[in-house]
A and B are shown apart, each in its own frame.
Chain A
Amino acid sequence: MKCTVVGKRVERKDARAKVTGETIYPSDRSREGMLWVVAVRAAHPHARILSIDTERAAAAAGVVRVLTARDVPGENAFGIQFHDMPVLCSDRVRYLGDVVALVGAESRRAARQAAALVAVDYQPLALLTDPEQALDPATPALHPGGNILHEVHFHKGNISVGFQKSAVIVERSYQLPMMDHAFLETEAGLSYFDENDVLCVESCGQYIYRDRKQIASVLGLAEEKIRVSAEMVGGAFGGKDDITVQIQLALMTYVTGRPAKMVASREESIVAHSKRHPASMWFKTGASKSGKLMAVEARFLSDTGAYASLGGPVLNLMAEHAAGPYLVPHVKVDGHVVYTNNGFSGAFRGFGCTQACVGIESQMDLMARALRRDPLAFRQANVLHQGDAAGLGYEMKTAVGAEPTIRAARAGKLYRQRRRIKKDRTHVSPSLAPFIRRGVGVASQMQGLGLGVGIEDQAEVEVVLGPGGAVRVKVGTTEIGQGAYTAYAQMTAERLGVPLEQVEIVGADTGTCPDSGATTASRTTYAVGNAILLAIAKLEQRRSAWAAQGTGRENLSARANFTVPTQDRQLGDGLPHLLYSYGTHVVLVEVNTLTGEISVEAVEAYLDGGRVVSPLGFEGQSEGGIAQGIGYTLFEEVLLDRGRFLNTNFDTYILPSSKDVPTAIHTVPIEVMEKSGPLGAKGISETCTVGVAPAILNALEDAIGIRFVRLPVRAEDVILAREESPHES
C-alpha cells in the first residue's frame, strides 16, 4: 500500500510549542491558593515505625496539614500488579523512598522546613540487600508471601541432549546494574477540586485510567469523581508507569480541599521511583560444529527491591527472550525475582529483554569466535523465521524481521569495511596512535510488543469530524516524548485523506478521552493506531449511509476499541507475546589503552518495527535508544550501600552527554509489514535500545580481546582487566 502522509518526514505536532517554551508540563502547573506538598520519606531502608509525631511540623509557620496513614480514607496501598506499596507507612518501611507523612504548606520552603520536623521513631530491622540471601527460606521475609516474588522454570527439548550435540559450549555469568530512567522532568503534578467537585490530578503517569482507579481505591471515591490527565510529560521510559505523586497529591487535596502541587527534587526522584532491575545471569550455550545452535540454558536472579511493581512480568520477559531471536532446539530457563531493601525496580524500556539480550548476544559472539565463524553469518544461520518455534516453544505466528535486519547489517558499510575501519588511525595524533584500539561488534534482538497473554491490552479512541474538515482524535495515552501523537495524526490524515494540519490529537485526560491503555510496551503505535483506523472505518460507513439517504452531517464521531491479539496459550503473566519488533546493531568502539577510555565512534541500527509511520520519530527513538544503551553499558549504575543510595544526582549518577554519543548514527528502517498492524506498523521504542549494550561488549572484545561480563564498563575496568589479561598488548 502506498502512503502519502505516513512515512513522510513531517515535523512533530508538538514541536513548535516545545521550542518556544509554551508547552505546559506537570511541573509547570499551578493554581491560585495551592499548597506545596513535600513527602517525608523513610530515614532507614528497613525499620519498624514505633511512632510518628507530627505535632511540631503541623504547628510550623505556613503549614496547613500534615498527613499520615490515619488520614487515608480507603485502601492504604497501591501497585500495578499487586497493591503492596503503602501510600503512607504506619508500621514498617522497606526502602528509603517509603513515605511516612505528607506536609502541605503555603510555600515549598515552609513545606520542606516542616518535613524536617516530623519526628519518626524507628527501630531498625535487619537489612536484606543480597538477592542470594533472599532465596534462603531462613531469611526473615519482607512481605507475607516470603522473599521470592516470582519464579520461572521452562524446559523445551532436552537440555543435556542439546549439550551432548554441541561441539562448542560457552558458559559465563553476567552482572547487570540498577539503572535510573533519569527522565529530565522529575515526578510532578497538580491537584484540585473543579467547580463540579471532581478531584482533578494533572500529572505525569503513563496510564491515566489505571492511575484513576488506584487513586479512587485509596480515597474510597467513585472513579467518576476523579479526573486524571497527563498530556505532555518530560520523559518517562517506564519510570512513571508506577504511581509516583498522583495519590499523594489527590490525598492532600481530598483532605484539605485545597489545590496542591508537588515537584520531586532529583535526589528524591532517584531514591523514590522504580529502576531497571539489577540482575545476575548465568548462561550456558552450545552449538554444533556446523554452527547450529543446539542449547541455551539460562539462570536469572533479579532484584525487584522492596516492592513487586512489575518484577514478575520483567522476569517473564527475561525468560521469553533468553534464547534471543534464534531457533534453538533445547532451551532451559530458570529464574527468580526476589525482594530486598534495595530501592525498588519496575518497568524500564526493554523490560527484561535488555538484560537477557546482554547474556545471549555475548554468548552468540563467544560461540561464533570459538567456531571461527563470522558473527553475523552465525546469527543469520540460526535466526528465527515466521512459523518457527520460539525459545520457549510457541510458534512465531506474525511477521518476523530478524533475518532481514541481520542481512542488511552484513551489507552495511561498518560491517563490510570493519577490517579497514579498525586499522584506521588517521583521526588520532601520531603520538597517541600506538595506544588506540578499535573494534566492531554486533548484536541482534527481538522485543515483545504489547502486554502479552493474560493482561488486558485494549485501546479505545474517539475520532471526531468537525466543521470545515477539522478532525479531532481523542486518545488516552500520554505523550512522554516518543512522538506517538504525531504518528497518530499521520495515520489519521492518511486514512481520511485530509491534510495533516487538520488533525488535532486530544490526549491523556480521563475527562475527555477514552481509555487507550498504557503508554508502555512499544504498544501505542500499533494498538492506538489500529483503534483509530477502526473508528475511521465506522465513520466512513456512517458517512456513506448518510450520503445514500441524501442527508449530510457536519459533526460526526465514532469510538472504536482495539484489542491487541495474543498467543493462545499462556505461559505466565504477560507471557508470551504474539508480536515482536526486531533489530541488529553494529557498533564501532575505540579504546584508549593508556587511559582506559572507551568511546563509541559509530553505530548502525537496522530496525524492524513494521512500516515506519514517522521517520523523524523513528530515527529519534533509535538515536535516543542508542544513547541510553551507551549509558547502560559505559556509565550508569545506581549505587547502594546497605540500602542507602550513594549517587542521587547527575554529578555522581553519570548520564551520557553530547560528547559520549556519536554523531555517526545511521538508522536503517527494515520494514517487514505486519498484517495485523495499522498500515503494517508495529513499534520500535524498545528494540532500538535493547541490543546496544551487548553490541558494545562484543566490540570491546574485538578491540582489546577482553570479554566484559559486568556493566557498566568504565575506564578503570579496562585498565584493571588489561593488567590481569594474559593477552595484554
Chain B
Amino acid sequence: MRVDIELGINGSRSRFAVEPDERLVSTLRDRAGLTGTKQGCKIGECGACSVIMDGKLVPSCLVLSASADGADLLTVEGVAQDGNLSDLQQAFVAEGAIQCGYCTPGMLLAGEYLLSRYQRPDTAQIKEAIAGNLCRCTGYTKIVAAIRKTAKKRSLVKSSAQGR
C-alpha cells in the first residue's frame, strides 16, 4: 500500500507514491533522483541528510515521507540559483571547507539555516549550529570560517543597503 504525497522541492512541486514507512531521505534520493542529499547513519546523528523543510533544518532520515505531505523543501540542489553559487557555497569553495564532500550538502544547509536566524553569529553559535553535522575530513575549522565570512559579508551588504 502506497501513500500519495506532494512535495515542493527547490521551488517545484511533485507527487510521489511512497511506502508508509519510507523516509524522506529515500524519497529524495531514490524517487526524486536528488542524490545531493546524503545518508550517513540513518539515525539522525550525522546530519549528512539535512534539508530545510518548511523553514526548519531537519535530518531527512528521521522524517517519514508520508508526514511531509505538502511540505516545502530546500535541498543542496536548490541552493545555487541559475548556476550561480550562493555566497555560502562560494565561501565553502574559497575557504577549503570541503574535502571528501560527503558532509558538505548537510553542512551547507545547516549554515544557511543558521544565517537565516542570526545576522552575525559568533564562533560558538556557528559551532553549535553545525554540531549535528559530522565531518570526518576537515576538522571543521574551515567550515566555521566559511560560515563566519559569509555572515560578515551578508551583514555588511545589509548595513550598506540600510545606510543608503
Q: Mark B1-44, 1 if CB is under 8 A from A, else 0.
A: 00000000000000000010000000001100011111111110
Size of the chain A interface, CB-CB below 8 angstroms: 57
B85 touches A20 (CB 8 A): yes
Q: Mark B89-109, 1 if CB is under 8 A from A, else 0.
A: 100111110111111110010
B45 touches A658 (CB 8 A): no
Tell me if A540 is interfacial: C-beta within 8 Å of chain B.
no
A626 touches B80 (CB 8 A): no
A21 touches B94 (CB 8 A): no
Tell me if A19 is interfacial: C-beta within 8 Å of chain B.
yes
B100 touches A234 (CB 8 A): yes
**Chain A: CB-nearest residue to B144:** A663
Nearest-Cβ distance from residue B91 to partner chain A, whole angstroms: 10
- CA–CA, A235 and B135, complex, Å: 10
Cβ-defined partner of A20 (8 Å) among B36, B43, B133, B141:
B36
Contacts of B131 in A (CB 8 A): 657-659
Nearest-Cβ distance from residue B110 to partner chain A, whole angstroms: 10
B98 touches A184 (CB 8 A): no
B48 touches A184 (CB 8 A): yes
Most chain A CB within a 10 A radius of its CB, from B19, B98, B136, B140: B136
Count A/B pairs, Cβ under 8 Å: 180
Tell me if A701 is interfacial: C-beta within 8 Å of chain B.
no
Tell me if A694 is interfacial: C-beta within 8 Å of chain B.
no
Nearest-Cβ distance from residue B18 to partner chain A, whole angstroms: 12
- CA–CA, A533 and B93, complex, Å: 27
Tell me if A84 is interfacial: C-beta within 8 Å of chain B.
no
- CA–CA, A123 and B11, complex, Å: 57
Cβ-defined partner of A21 (8 Å) among B103, B105, B130, B135:
B105
- CA–CA, A693 and B134, complex, Å: 20
B100 touches A185 (CB 8 A): yes
B140 touches A14 (CB 8 A): no
Contacts of A604 in B (CB 8 A): none
Q: Known: A184-B134, A483-B99, A620-B138. Is A21-B35 also a contact (CB below 8 A)?
A: yes
Nearest-Cβ distance from residue A564 to partner chain B, whole angstroms: 24
Most chain B CB within a 10 A radius of its CB, from A12, A16, A30, A481: A481
Tell me if A22 is interfacial: C-beta within 8 Å of chain B.
yes
Nearest-Cβ distance from residue B21 to partner chain A, whole angstroms: 9
Cβ-defined partner of B142 (8 Å) among A182, A265, A266, A623:
A623
Nearest-Cβ distance from residue A350 to partner chain B, whole angstroms: 15
Most chain B CB within a 10 A radius of its CB, from A11, A19, A620: A19
B40 touches A266 (CB 8 A): yes
Contacts of B157 in A (CB 8 A): none
Contacts of A18 in B (CB 8 A): 98, 101, 104
B94 touches A11 (CB 8 A): yes
- CA–CA, A53 and B34, complex, Å: 38
Q: Known: A20-B77, A25-B102. Is A626-B96 also a contact (CB below 8 A)?
A: no
Contacts of A109 in B (CB 8 A): 19
A623 touches B100 (CB 8 A): no
Contacts of B40 in A (CB 8 A): 184-186, 266, 650
Contacts of B34 in A (CB 8 A): 21
Nearest-Cβ distance from residue A329 to partner chain B, whole angstroms: 38
A235 touches B137 (CB 8 A): yes
Nearest-Cβ distance from residue B37 to partner chain A, whole angstroms: 7
Tell me if A627 is interfacial: C-beta within 8 Å of chain B.
yes
Tell me if A233 is interfacial: C-beta within 8 Å of chain B.
yes
B139 touches A626 (CB 8 A): yes
Q: Known: A24-B35, A628-B136, A655-B134. Is A481-B101 also a contact (CB below 8 A)?
A: yes
Q: Which of A194-230 contact B (CB under 8 A)?
A: none
Nearest-Cβ distance from residue A13 to partner chain B, whole angstroms: 11
Cβ-defined partner of A665 (8 Å) among B92, B95, B108, B141:
B141
Q: Known: A21-B34, A658-B130. Is A184-B139 also a contact (CB below 8 A)?
A: no
- CA–CA, A18 and B89, complex, Å: 10
B35 touches A28 (CB 8 A): yes
Contacts of A408 in B (CB 8 A): none
Per DSSP, chain B at the interface is loop
Contacts of B137 in A (CB 8 A): 184, 235, 481, 620, 624
Tell me if A113 is interfacial: C-beta within 8 Å of chain B.
no
Most chain B CB within a 10 A radius of its CB, from A23, A186, A263, A482: A23
Contacts of A440 in B (CB 8 A): none
B38 touches A661 (CB 8 A): no
Tell me if B154 is interfacial: C-beta within 8 Å of chain A.
no
- CA–CA, A540 and B130, complex, Å: 49
Cβ-defined partner of B134 (8 Å) among A14, A620, A650:
A650
**Chain B: CB-nearest residue to A617:** B96
Tell me if B64 is interfacial: C-beta within 8 Å of chain A.
no
Contacts of A9 in B (CB 8 A): 96
Nearest-Cβ distance from residue B102 to partner chain A, whole angstroms: 3
Q: Mark A633-672, 1 if CB is under 8 A from B, else 0.
A: 0000000000000000111000101110101010000000
Q: Known: A23-B101, A624-B99. Is A183-B89 also a contact (CB below 8 A)?
A: no
Most chain A CB within a 10 A radius of its CB, from B38, B76, B140: B140
B85 touches A266 (CB 8 A): no
Tell me if B123 is interfacial: C-beta within 8 Å of chain A.
yes
**Chain B: CB-nearest residue to A18:** B101
Cβ-defined partner of A624 (8 Å) among B48, B89, B136:
B136
**Chain B: CB-nearest residue to A662:** B141
**Chain A: CB-nearest residue to B108:** A19
Tell me if B149 is interfacial: C-beta within 8 Å of chain A.
no
Q: Which of A262-289 contact B (CB under 8 A)?
A: 263, 265-266
Tell me if B127 is interfacial: C-beta within 8 Å of chain A.
yes
B46 touches A650 (CB 8 A): yes
A184 touches B36 (CB 8 A): no
Q: Mark B29-70, 1 if CB is under 8 A from A, else 0.
A: 110001111111111011010000000000000000000000
Tell me if B73 is interfacial: C-beta within 8 Å of chain A.
no
A16 touches B85 (CB 8 A): yes
Contacts of B143 in A (CB 8 A): 658
Closest 9 CB pairs of A and B: A21-B36, A481-B100, A18-B101, A623-B139, A234-B102, A616-B96, A627-B139, A21-B76, A28-B35
Given A16-B93, A623-B141, A649-B43, 16 new contacts (CB under 8 A): A15-B92, A15-B96, A19-B89, A19-B92, A20-B85, A21-B34, A22-B36, A184-B136, A235-B136, A263-B39, A623-B140, A624-B135, A628-B136, A657-B131, A659-B127, A663-B144
A-B contact pairs, 9 of them (CB 8 A): A18-B101, A25-B102, A181-B136, A623-B140, A624-B99, A628-B136, A649-B45, A661-B140, A663-B144
